[in-house]
């Protein structure tokens, strides 16, 4: 139903109070206490805000006063705060003549004040911090409907605001299944890099050696130079109009950035490789014909014991197998029983791998 710009007839007291405050605002003589009282009245109820805003938006034609005169007169009787100081003419008509000539100013001033006195926006959730220990994973639902799964030895901070959803990956790896919300871009920050979702499921891994972004669904916009200290540079991203400093990565693509050389490599992964890359989400590590050096580097993330390879010949061995996260002993048993690799345990909690001739 279309709102009618007429004075309310079912709440005369509320209308009178709103009119009284309008008149008081026009005087420009509100003290700090008066303004505090006005703010309190505005925020006491959504109906107060709507009523006084409605009156301020009324037509500025003088004939509006015919509807306002009685409420204003009644309000003046009840509220001394709205009476003008100084002389009044005989019969009380000066107040109403003043009102006729100054309605435009009153409404204009009131409208400006109301723009600063809108009911407070709903409070945004406090930042949340999530972390996993070595060998642990964690699956969490966020308040916007997105889901995040943390891999081993990872730490993130999640900070949602009215116009943005920001995640700061301090270390480790996390997979994000992002709820669609075009009004609030979902951006993951890792150092001075950012990854913004465009209706997406993707993972981000950040270690001392590399940054790896793997996209399983949708697209992401990858950018440089957007650190946490420059979070105000976040821009909303769409598939048709990415920001100038960003590159789009689609489903099935993986980006690798070397922390030493800053060299960036983008490749498209076959489905079976993508499945192995993200097998950790189901609690498994999946290797197929991979150099033992790469396998050990991955396994090292899931155990506090230091794993060392004694020689290059052992490092170049090809290895395959599926292992449950947290059960690294099965990995070392497989090396000894099936691949001819000796696993030596040292007193300082190291494991040394070497081929047996």
Residue 145, domain CATH: 2.60.120.1440
From 102, 151, 150, select the one nearest 128 (Cα to Cα): 150
**Percent of the chain residues past pLDDT 90, beyond the cut:** 37
Residue finishing a domain among 70, 92, 116: 116
How distant is the alpha carbon of residue 224 from its chain centre?
19
According to the model, what pLDDT value does residue 5 have? 37
Residue pLDDT, tens place only, 269-319: 999 899 999 999 999 999 999 999 999 999 999 999 999 999 999 999 999
Structural domain contains residue 228: yes
What is the pLDDT confidence band of residue 30, given thresholds at 50, 70 and 90? low
Residue 153 and residue 196 in one domain: yes
Q: Residue 2: inside a domain, yes or no? A: no
Helix, strand or coil, per DSSP, at residue 163: coil
- Residue 286 to residues 251, 253, 271: CA-CA distances in angstroms? 20, 19, 14
> Where is 131: in which H helix or E strand?
strand 128-131
Could you tell me whether strands 264-268 and 155-160 are parallel, antiparallel, or unpaired per DSSP bridges?
unpaired
Q: Are residues 111 and 149 in the same domain?
A: no
Q: Considering the chain, what is the average pLDDT of its residues? A: 75
User: Domain limits at 139?
Assistant: 128-273
249 with 295, same domain: the answer is no
For residue 265, pLDDT beyond 80: yes
Is there a domain that residue 122 lies in?
Answer: no
Q: Is residue 123 part of a domain?
A: no
pLDDT band at 113 (very low <50, low <70, confident <90, very high): low
**Model confidence at 83, in pLDDT bands (50, 70, 90)?**
very low
Closest CA to 22 of 117, 116, 109: 109
At residue 229, the pLDDT reads 42
The pLDDT of 20-26, averaged and rounded, is 70
- Angstrom distance (rounded) from CA 188 to CA 270: 25
Per-residue pLDDT, 155: 95
pLDDT band with cut points at 50, 70 and 90 for residue 95: very low
115 Rama sector, left if φ>0, alpha if ψ -120 to 50, beta otherwise? alpha
Note whether residue 205 is domain-resident. yes
Look at 60 and 199; give whichever has higher pLDDT. Answer: 199
Tokens 């540079």 -> residue:
233
- pLDDT value of position 124: 60
My answer on whether 299 and 338 are in the same domain is yes
- How many domains, the chain? 3
7 assigned to some structural domain: no
Kindly report, residue by residue over 330-357, the tens digit of the pLDDT: 899 999 988 889 999 998 889 999 988 6
Residue in this structure with the two tokens 């070595």, named with its chain if needed: 134
Does any domain span residue 1? no
Which has more pLDDT, 324 or 227?
324
* Entry pTM: 0.60
Alpha-carbon Rg for the chain in angstroms: 33
pLDDT in tens, 188-237: 999 888 999 877 899 999 988 889 999 999 999 888 754 444 333 333 33
């Amino acid at each position: 139903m279309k709102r009618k710009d007429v004075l309310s007839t079912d709440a005369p007291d509320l209308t009178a109070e709103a009119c009284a405050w309008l008149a008081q605002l026009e005087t420009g003589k509100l003290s700090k206490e008066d303004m505090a009282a006005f703010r309190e009245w505005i925020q006491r109820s959504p109906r107060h805000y709507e009523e006084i805003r409605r009156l301020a938006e009324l037509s500025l034609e003088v004939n509006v006063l015919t509807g306002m005169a009685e409420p204003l007169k009644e309000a003046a009787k009840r509220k001394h705060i709205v009476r003008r100081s100084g002389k009044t003419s005989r019969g009380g008509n000066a107040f109403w003549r003043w009102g006729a000539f100054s309605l435009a100013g009153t409404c204009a001033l009131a409208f400006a004040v109301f723009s600063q006195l809108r009911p407070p926006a709903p409070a945004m959730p406090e930042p949340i911090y999530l972390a996993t220990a070595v060998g642990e994973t964690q699956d969490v639902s966020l308040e916007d409907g997105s889901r995040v799964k943390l891999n081993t030895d990872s730490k993130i901070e999640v900070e949602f605001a009215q116009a943005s959803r920001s995640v700061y990956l301090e270390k480790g790896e996390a997979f994000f299944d992002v709820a669609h919300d075009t009004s609030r871009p979902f951006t993951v920050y890792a150092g001075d890099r950012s990854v913004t979702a465009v209706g997406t499921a993707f993972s981000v891994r950040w270690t001392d050696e590399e940054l790896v972004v793997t996209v399983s669904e949708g697209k992401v916009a990858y950018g440089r130079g957007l650190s946490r200290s420059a979070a105000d540079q976040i821009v909303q991203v769409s598939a048709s109009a990415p920001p100038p400093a960003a590159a789009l990565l689609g489903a099935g693509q993986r980006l690798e950035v070397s922390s030493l050389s800053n060299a960036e490599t983008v490749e498209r992964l076959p489905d079976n490789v993508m499945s192995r890359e993200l097998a950790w989400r189901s609690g498994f590590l999946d290797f197929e014909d991979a150099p033992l050096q790469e396998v050990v580097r991955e396994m090292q993330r899931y155990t506090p014991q230091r794993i060392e390879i004694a020689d290059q010949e052992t490092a170049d061995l090809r290895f395959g197998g599926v292992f449950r996260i947290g059960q690294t002993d099965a990995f070392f048993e497989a090396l000894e029983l099936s691949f001819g690799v000796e696993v030596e345990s040292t007193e300082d909690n190291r494991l040394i791998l070497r081929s047996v001739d």
